[in-house]
Amino acid sequence: MPKPSHESSITRRSDKNEAWNQRYLEGRANWSAGPSRVVVETESALDTTGNGAALDLACGSGRNALYLARRGWAVTGVDFAEEALRIARERARREGLAITWLQQNLERWIPGEDAFDFVLICYLHLPWPSFRAILEKAERAIRPGGTLLVLGHDRINITEGTGKPKYGNVAYTPEEVAGALERCTVVRAERDRYAPDHGNSHADQIDCIVQAFKPSRGTLQ
């Protein structure tokens, strides 16, 4: 069987980008104007609240990035959907918030090492090899003493919950995410069942939450 060509890979990425752009244009991807409850709870408990650099990977239209900027963080938001970033920039402009927005393919983009105090990966769903590679880059991007928060749909959400994703190969569990971290110490790995703030389903949404911190070099247990 012939291997996919470089051109076909580019076409698939372009098609995926256009699909997400269309969702944002139609208002189908703006799930909530406010930040994630888990992000708010996690950030509020950090010792570095409002006093550091934050990186929001797969930031979408900016709901969490905007919240962090309001709290005083120097925020960088990264997403591959141009329309999502257009919405995010406009929201930031209206509020007078200075946020760095980058349009990048996270599978290719490499953030600076030891550059951020708080790194978020929220509802980024890719095949596990790609997701794990992004996790590794996220770990490298965190400064010693910094925090990583991974939030997404748990795999059992497909059969027991509501919402996305439809396929298990792009969902994950707390155990998988925690087990993949090599540079950070896990402090929280759990499932969260709650009533979603979007959609018409009466079923709970089941999310995977993993929080970890990056210890000083030479102290990882």
Q: How far apart are the first and last CA of the chain?
A: 45
* DSSP result, 167-199: SGGG-B-HHHHHHH-SSSEEEEEEEEEE--SSS
pLDDT of residue 163: 75
Domain boundaries, the chain: 12-214
Lookup: tokens for 16: 């995926």
Which amino acid is it at 81? A
What's 163's DSSP letter? S
What's 174's DSSP letter? H
pLDDT of residue 12: 45
* 176/165: higher pLDDT: 176
Q: Which CATH superfamily is domain 12-214 in?
A: Vaccinia Virus protein VP39 (3.40.50.150)
pLDDT tens column, 49-85: 778 999 999 999 999 999 999 999 999 999 999 999 9
pTM for this prediction: 0.84
Per-residue pLDDT for 22 more than 70? no
pLDDT of residue 162: 77
Q: Is beta strand 205-213 parallel, antiparallel or unpaired with respect to 74-79?
A: unpaired
Per-residue pLDDT for 136 more than 80? yes
For the chain, give the mean pLDDT: 86
pLDDT of residue 219: 59
